[in-house]
C-alpha cells in the first residue's frame, strides 16, 4: 500500500527566509504527487501538482523518484504563507483519483 | 469555478440518531466524489469513493452500513451517519473530481458532534 510521510508536524521560519516542507512517499508504481494548502478557517485547496511543473505563489516542488521525495520549497517565505500544508499521492489503476495524504505540516512564518 | 459546498456546516445530534450530510458540486459535474474524515490536528483519511449511479466503494475498516453514501446525480452525493455515537464525532470533508485533469475540489467540511 502507498504511504506519504511528512516528518515535520510544525515548521517555523522568519519572513524572508527560505522554507522547505519535506514529503516522502512509498509506492511501487508511478504516482502523481500533489501539495494541498489549508489556510486558517478555509477549505483545502490545491497548491501544485508535479505533472504541471509550475510555480504557484512562489512555491515549487520537484519529484525525485530516486529519493521518493516531493519536497515543497520557497526561497523567501511570507507571513501569508502560514498555513497547514499536506502532501498527497494519487495512484493509477482502479484506485485512480484516490488521494493518500501525509500527516500535514503547520508552517508559521514570523514577521 | 469548481466550487463544492457541504450542508450542514455544523450539526449536533443525540446518540442513536442518524445524520445526513450533503455534498454538492455547484458549477461542474463531478464524475466522482470522495468522503474523508479528519480528526483534530490529524490528516484526512479517505472513507469512501462515490461514483454517480453506482455503489460507493469503501476503504478498509469503514463500515458501509454505518456510513451510507448515495450519489444520486452528477452534482450531489450524500453521506448518512446511521445510529450515530460519540465516537463518530469528527470533521467530515467531501471532494469532487471532474475527471480530467485528476484534480479534486474540496468542500468546507461538516463538523459532527454526537452527544
Residue closest to A103 by CA, chosen among B42, B101, B32? B42
> To 5 degrees, how large is the angle CA A93–CA B61–CA B38?
90
The pLDDT-based confidence of B1 (bands split at 50, 70, 90) is: low
The pLDDT-based confidence of B101 (bands split at 50, 70, 90) is: low
Instruction: Read off the pLDDT of residues B29-43 as tens digits, 9 standing for 90 and up.
Output: 888 899 999 988 788
**Rounded mean pLDDT of B5-18?**
96
Using DSSP bridges, classify how beta strands A10-14 and A19-21 pair: parallel, antiparallel or unpaired: unpaired
Residue closest to A19 by CA, chosen among A77, A86, A64, A62? A77
A45 touches chain B (CB under 8 A): yes
The pLDDT-based confidence of A95 (bands split at 50, 70, 90) is: low
Assess whether the previous peptide bond of B8 is cis (omega < 30° from 0): yes
* Contact criterion met (CB below 8 Å) for B18 and B26: no
DSSP letter, residue A56 = B
A104 touches chain B (CB under 8 A): yes
Cα–Cα dist A89/A85, whole Å: 14
In the prediction, which pLDDT does B18 show?
A: 97
Instruction: Name the closest residue on chain A to residue B92, using Cα atoms.
Output: A43
Query: How many Cβ atoms sit within 10 Å of the Cβ of residue A95?
Result: 15
Instruction: Name the closest residue on chain A to residue B2, using Cα atoms.
Output: A45
Q: Given a cut of 70, is residue B100 above it in pLDDT? A: no
* Contact criterion met (CB below 8 Å) for B112 and B88: yes
A8 touches chain B (CB under 8 A): no
Query: How many Cβ atoms sit within 10 Å of the Cβ of residue B65?
Result: 8
Q: Given a cut of 90, is residue A2 above it in pLDDT? A: no
Nearest to B106 among A32, A43, A49 (CB): A43
In the prediction, which pLDDT does A11 show?
A: 97
Instruction: Read off the pLDDT of residues A21-59 as tens digits, 9 standing for 90 and up.
Output: 999 999 988 889 999 999 998 999 999 988 777 778 999
The pLDDT-based confidence of B92 (bands split at 50, 70, 90) is: very high
Residues 6+ apart with CB under 8 A from A26: A2, A3, A5, A68
The grid coordinates of residue B49 equal 469513493
Instruction: Name the closest residue on chain A to residue B110, using Cα atoms.
Output: A43
Cα–Cα dist B100/B79, whole Å: 25
The pLDDT-based confidence of B105 (bands split at 50, 70, 90) is: very high
Å from A111 to nearest chain B CA?
24
The grid coordinates of residue B3 equal 466550487
Nearest to B106 among A32, A45, A100 (CB): A45
Amino acid at each position: 500500500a502507498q504511504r506519504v510521510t511528512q516528518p515535520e508536524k510544525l515548521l517555523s521560519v522568519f519572513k524572508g527566509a527560505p522554507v522547505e516542507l519535506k514529503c516522502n512517499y512509498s509506492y511501487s508504481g508511478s504516482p502523481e504527487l500533489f501539495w494541498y494548502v489549508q489556510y486558517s478557517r478555509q477549505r483545502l485547496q490545491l497548491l501544485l501538482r508535479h505533472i504541471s511543473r509550475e510555480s504557484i505563489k512562489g512555491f515549487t516542488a520537484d519529484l525525485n523518484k530516486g529519493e521518493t521525495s516531493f519536497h515543497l520549497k520557497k526561497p523567501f517565505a511570507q507571513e501569508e504563507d502560514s498555513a497547514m500544508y499536506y502532501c498527497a499521492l494519487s495512484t493509477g489503476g482502479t484506485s485512480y483519483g484516490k488521494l493518500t495524504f501525509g500527516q500535514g505540516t503547520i508552517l508559521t512564518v514570523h514577521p | 469555478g469548481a466550487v463544492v459546498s457541504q450542508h450542514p456546516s455544523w450539526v449536533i445530534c443525540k446518540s442513536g440518531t442518524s445524520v445526513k450530510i450533503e455534498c454538492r458540486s455547484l458549477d461542474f459535474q463531478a464524475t466522482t466524489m470522495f468522503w474523508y474524515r479528519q480528526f483534530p490536528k490529524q490528516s484526512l483519511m479517505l472513507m469512501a469513493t462515490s461514483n454517480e449511479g453506482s455503489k460507493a466503494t469503501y476503504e478498509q475498516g469503514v463500515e458501509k452500513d454505518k456510513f451510507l453514501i448515495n450519489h444520486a446525480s452528477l452534482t450531489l452525493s450524500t453521506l448518512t451517519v446511521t445510529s450515530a455515537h460519540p465516537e463518530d464525532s469528527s470533521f467530515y470533508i467531501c471532494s469532487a473530481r471532474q475527471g480530467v485533469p485528476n484534480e479534486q475540489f474540496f468542500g468546507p467540511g461538516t463538523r459532527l458532534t454526537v452527544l
